[in-house]
Structure 1
């Protein structure tokens, strides 16, 4: 996929990322990048992020998640790329 082609990033963020404003921070970064999707707390303590938009913008978001300058403490980020599915409106916290 090239930078301008739309993509779907699914990322599972491990670490101390719940109850620290991590989803709000992720939503803000995603909206700045023009992405749609959601950030959701998972029962096992991870945060799942699904973001859709230009591949380059998704890659920028992934880089921000991995940089360590986030609320809480990110230990690792597992990411998966796929084709975008159905239109997602906005970027929400779940």
Structure 2
């Protein structure tokens, strides 16, 4: 069962058939992510084939991990299957 953990707290957990694996990153459906740990971010980045990524920061027990979560709210056609799915980096432990 894919799980994302940071600062000792499970941030996301989903069944294998619910996640998407793209470029070795696990993309979790929004329903599997604990929204109470997400904080809005103004940060964006662009992928040539997925499009414009938006970000969240994580906040757990007063600690903040800036821009540790990304997602594609309006992906390009080839990445349509990961629309709004969330992926993690910057020290977030993702187990498949």
TM-score after normalising by structure 1: 0.28
Richer in strand (by share): 2
- TM-score normalized by the length of structure 2: 0.28
Kindly indicate which of the two structures has a greater share of residues assigned to helix.
1
